[in-house]
Each structure stands twice: as structure tokens, then as C-alpha cells.
Copies of this chain bind each other. A is one copy, B any other.
Amino acid sequence: MARVIVDVMPKPEILDPQGKAVTGALKRLGFDGLTVRQGKRFEVDVEGDLTDERLDQVREAAEKLLANTVIEAFDVRVEQ
């Protein structure tokens, strides 16, 4: 069993209303000078050996389902 991490973040040019809300809330709580962007983190447990093919399959899954590639960028990496 191998674990692959998929990080999905809004693209830099895309507005991030969740991040903006968090940034505002932090300021109101007294945390100054912090700017937040919010995305998603997926921990994908892969059955069996993590071959290159299996990793490509996770990349395909990220592109098709985990990220909306019109507005989000994703990064796939094997957890050490």
C-alpha cells in the first residue's frame, strides 16, 4: 500500500473567495500580515505496488475528477 498526495489549488489568476474569507477572519482575530489561499488535499491510498503506470493512473484521476483544471492547478507526489 503506497500513499500518493494530490494537492489542488486555485490558479493564481483565479479569485479565491474561501481564502479571502479566511484572510479576513484572521485579521479580525488579530492575526495580522497573513494572506491565505485555500485549496484541497487528497490522500490517495493505492492498492498494491506503486508502479509508474499506477502513478499515471492517479495523475489521470486528479485531472479528471479531483481538480477542475479550468480554475485549479494540481500537484501529484508520492509521500515519503
- Residues of A in contact with B (beta carbons under 8 Å apart): 7-9, 19, 22, 25-26, 29, 31-48, 57-58, 60-61, 64-66
Contact = CB atoms under 8 A, between A and B. Distances in A.
Contact of A22 (B36, B38, B41, B65): B65
Report how many copies the assembly holds. 2
Contacts of A47: 32-35
A46 B33 contact: yes
A30 to B, nearest CB: 9
Given A44-B36, A46-B34, A22 B58 contact: no
Given A38-B42, A39-B41, A33 B9 contact: no
Contacts of A26: 61, 65
